[in-house]
A and B are shown apart, each in its own frame.
Chain A
Amino acid sequence: MVTSAAVAEPQRYLETQIRWRPVEIAFWLATLLPFVLTPNYLVLASQIAITALFALSLDLILGYAGIVSLGHAAYFGFASYTAGLIAKWGWGEPLTGLVIAATAAGVLGYLTGFIIARFRHLALIMITLGLGLLLAEAANSASWLTGGADGLQGVRMWKLFGVFQFDLYGTTAYSYSLVVLFVCFLVARRLINSPFGLALRGIRENAIRMPAIGAPTRAHIRKVYTIAAVMAGVAGALLAQTTETVSLETLSFARSADVLVILILGGAGRLYGGLVGAIIYMVARDQFSGINPQYWYFWIGTLLVAVVIFLPNGILGGAARLVRLFERSRA
């Protein structure tokens, strides 16, 4: 959250924010541990990286600009199908496929951004939900293109850089997803710690006052919405390429709701919120749903209620409060 120092000296505030802290470097080094510690779980690790990227993209619009979206899976799934179809039609090169799919999601995001920027509150939530459902229904109806409920079959990826085969163990998949996640994270980090990022926080805190001080609110929202759509698209394309299949589930309301839950669990409005949330959520789901998927819903529901009541800023927000308490007691 923006401290009062930011009001006095915005440049100084941004400079302190942009410096890399030791805990951040430790976090990114720790993402390499799965290669050594749990080499049998690299497929899961690549899914986590993809989900974390998806949550990061939602954080840009929800955590920073305050746009609640119940249909963010639209961009994820749209890019997923785009990437899958390109590969199916004979162009299996991963990187260009990723760029094309992300661009497609970005165009969709730019176009819908004109609608999104006009609404707030319940109408906004319902319109994002409606647009997401519309796209999911369209994909379901166009089964000649998307394969319908059976999912898109016949996706064959070429080797990454012509060298690294996407194998069953997920070594390539995790390396690829992790690098892409890190690059996108750098972009998001730079974006948030810029004057543009401050303007977004202004929109979140007071959407009426921002135009009054001369900020083009709607243009800002369109811009960040497009960027978030591109990032969600990258995540969707990664999923299609690393699993070599696309299902209707990538567009579903459940996926939009899941990513929202992940972000809130981790802590919205903090760059690492989505990342931490994705790790906890995906690992817990992997462990629990082995027992019974229904129980998983019970526990995630209970966890949500507990987080909202006891940890209003998510797990990272609670951790930050603990750290502050600790520092105060020492001082």
Chain B
Amino acid sequence: MIASLFGVLFDGFAYGMLLFILSVGLSVTLGMMNFVNLAHCSFAMLGGFVTVTLTNELGWPFLASLPLAFVSAALVSVVFERVLYRQLYRASDLDQCLLTIGIVFVSVAVAAYIYGTIQQPLNLPSYLRGSVSVWGQSLGVYRLFLIGVSIAITAALVAALEYTRFGAQVRAAVDNQRMARALGIDVDRVFAITFALGSGLAGLGGALAIEIVGLDHAFAFTYLIYVLIVVAVGGLGSIAGSFVAASLLGISDMAGKYYFPELGAFLIYFVMVALLMWRPVGLFGRR
């Protein structure tokens, strides 16, 4: 029982880290522009399909396809930001929701048109398969890899936000957009770059997610709810909040599936509603 508890915590944490990579970009952009981008997971799905195409069709190694998943999601997101999102920064939450859910619909249909409605296969290189034994526990190598990547990304994000000039501009814009503008910060430019980076991270998350949760045309819909839960529970614009919320969500979802399989996803929805009723701005939110 104790052993399996550790296993559940490990798997849940790895899953949580995946959710963190998927959602951290949305948290920061929502905190900065108050732009409700429900199409965030469409960019994640794009990254996933880029990796699938590169490794299966063109024979690229898995690791080499990851940067391309990041770059392609970032580039496509910038195009959308310039063409469509710009026009709605001053619009209501509802209009933003509807525009982006429209994009989700289209992306799901396009993915189904190109790739069909089946789960996409992925051939992992042999060094990422199997499991290693640590203190009598067998831990999946891929999950260890996932946790390593996520922690590296978190460290890089925190360092970039805390110690670079650009990070300071981002923090200023999240804290008080109008004041930041008054100080001469080009908030639109900062936002566009942050948006691209966040979407790129989502694309990377989508590529990393294939091995854990699979990838099909409905990915943009299925994981939208999880990502929204992480963002709302963690608090807008808070990296630490997203990290904690994603870990909590990953572990409670995994624990629910192991110990109370008959409840299904009931547990995480319950946790979310309870947390939001307790703290409507999220665990680490300030507004």
Which residue from A68, A140, A294, A305 sits with its C-beta under 8 Å from B84? Answer: A305
Given contacts A129-B225, A134-B270, contact A308 B95 (CB under 8 A): yes
The answer, among A131, A296, A298, A305, for a CB contact under 8 Å with B273, is A131
Query: B277 on the interface (CB 8 Å rule)?
Result: yes
- B228 nearest in chain A by CB position: A126
If A264-B98, A304-B98 touch, whether A130 touches B109 (CB-CB below 8 Å) is: no
Q: From residue A297, how far is it (CB to closest CB) to chain B in Å?
A: 4
CB under 8 Å from chain A, chain B span 91-129: 91, 93-95, 97-99, 101-110, 112-113, 117
Task: Report the minimum CB–CB distance from B267 to chain A (whole Å).
Answer: 9
B113 nearest CB neighbor, chain A only: A294
Check if B209 is an interface residue, CB within 8 A of chain A.
no
> In the bound complex, what is the Cα–Cα distance between A137 and B281 (angstroms)?
25
CB-based contact B109/A297 at 8 Å? yes
- Is B60 interfacial (CB 8 A cutoff)? no
CB under 8 Å from chain B, chain A span 280-331: 294-298, 300-305, 307-309, 312
Please tell me if the beta carbons of A298 and B277 are within 8 angstroms of each other in the complex.
no
Contact check, A137 vs B95: say whether CB atoms are below 8 A apart.
no
Per the bound structure, the CA–CA distance linking A123 and B282 in Å amounts to 8
The answer to whether B272 touches A126 (Cβ under 8 A) is yes
Determine which of B88, B95, B105 lies in contact with A301 in the assembled complex, contact meaning CB atoms within 8 Å: B105
Which of A115, A121, A308 meets B277, CB within 8 Å?
A: A115
Question: Which of B47-55, B134-142, B173-181, B258-266 is near enough to bind chain A?
Answer: B258-266
- Do residues B97 and A68 form an inter-chain contact, with CB atoms below 8 A? yes
Known A130-B273, A131-B273, A309-B87: A123·B94 in contact at CB below 8 Å? no
Knowing A137-B266, A297-B108, A304-B105, the reply to whether A123 touches B99 (Cβ < 8 A) is no
Contact across chains for B95 and A133 when beta carbons are under 8 A apart: no
* A309–B84 CB distance below 8 A: yes
Closest A residue to B112 by beta carbon equals A294
A119 CA to B228 CA, complexed, in Å: 17
A-B pairs with beta carbons under 8 A, tally? 118
State whether the Cβ of A122 lies closer than 8 Å to any Cβ in chain B. Answer: yes
**Complexed CA–CA distance, A305 and B38 (Å):** 13
Q: Which of A129, A133, A305 contacts B99 (CB 8 A)?
A: A305
A294 and chain B: residue at smallest CB distance: B112
Instruction: Check if B59 is an interface residue, CB within 8 A of chain A.
Output: no
Task: Tell me, yes or no, whether A180 is within 8 Å of chain B by CB.
Answer: no
Q: Is the CB of A123 within 8 A of B280?
A: yes
Closest residue on chain B to residue A303 by CB atoms: B102
**Closest residue on chain B to residue A132 by CB atoms:** B269
What is the chain A residue whose CB lies nearest that of B232?
A126
Q: Which residues of A lie under 8 Å from residue B30 when comparing CB positions?
A: 122
Tell me which residues across on chain B come within 8 A of A294, comparing CB atoms.
108-109, 112-113, 117, 217
Query: Which residues does chain B contribute within 8 Å of A121, judged by CB atoms?
Result: 93
B-side contacts of A303, CB under 8 Å = 102
Interface pair A304/B102, CB less than 8 Å apart = yes
A264 to B94, Cβ gap below 8 A? yes
Decide if B277 touches A127 in the complex (CB within 8 Å): yes
Provided the pairs A126-B276, A308-B98 are in contact, do residues A134 and B266 lie with their beta carbons within 8 angstroms?
Answer: yes
- What chain A residues lie within 8 Å of B95 (beta carbons)? 308, 312
Pair A134/B93 contact, Cβ less than 8 Å: no
CA distance A77 to B281 in the complex (A): 29
- For the complex formed, measure the closest distance between the CB of A227 and the CB atoms of chain B, giving whole angstroms: 21
The answer on a CB contact under 8 Å between B272 and A130 is: yes
Please, which residues of chain B bring their CB within 8 A of the CB of A123?
Answer: 232, 276, 280-281
Q: Are B105 and A300 in contact (CB under 8 A)?
A: yes
Does B269 contact A134, Cβ atoms closer than 8 Å?
Answer: yes
Let me know if B236 is at the binding interface, CB within 8 A. yes
**Most A CB atoms within 10 A — which of B87, B88, B91, B265?**
B265
Whether B103 pairs with A141 at a CB distance below 8 angstroms is no
Name, among A129, A303, A307, A312, the residue most crowded by chain B CB atoms within 10 Å (CB to CB).
A129
Q: Is the CB of A308 within 8 A of B276?
A: no
Q: What separation, in Å, do the CA atoms of A61 and B165 have in the docked complex?
A: 45
Q: Does B229 contact A (CB under 8 A)?
A: yes
User: A253 in the interface, Cβ–Cβ < 8 Å?
Assistant: yes
A127 and B276 contact, CB distance less than 8 A = yes
Chain B residues positioned under 8 Å from A68 (CB to CB): 93-94, 97
Closest chain B residue, CB of each to CB of A306: B102
Verify B228–A138 contact, CB threshold 8 A. Answer: no
B36 contacts partner chain A, Cβ-Cβ < 8 Å: yes
Complex interface residues of chain A between 137 and 153 (CB less than 8 A to chain B): 137-138, 140-141
Chain A residues with CB under 8 Å of B101's CB are 257, 261, 301, 304
**Known contacts A130-B269, A308-B88, A298 near B105 by CB under 8 Å:** yes
Q: Report Cα–Cα, A131/B277, bound state, in Å.
A: 12
Given A126-B228, A295-B109, A309-B87; 13 other pairs, CB 8 A cutoff: A119-B280, A122-B36, A123-B232, A127-B276, A127-B277, A131-B273, A134-B273, A137-B264, A137-B269, A297-B112, A302-B102, A304-B98, A305-B99
Chain B positions within 8 Å of A, measured between CB atoms, are 30, 36, 84, 87-88, 91, 93-95, 97-99, 101-110, 112-113, 117, 217, 225, 228-229, 232, 236, 262-266, 269-270, 272-273, 276-277, 280-281
8 tightest Cβ-Cβ pairs between the two chains A and B: A301-B105, A304-B102, A298-B109, A301-B106, A123-B280, A130-B273, A305-B102, A297-B109
A–B complex contacts, Cβ < 8 Å, 8 sampled: A122-B36, A129-B228, A130-B273, A137-B264, A264-B94, A301-B105, A301-B106, A302-B102
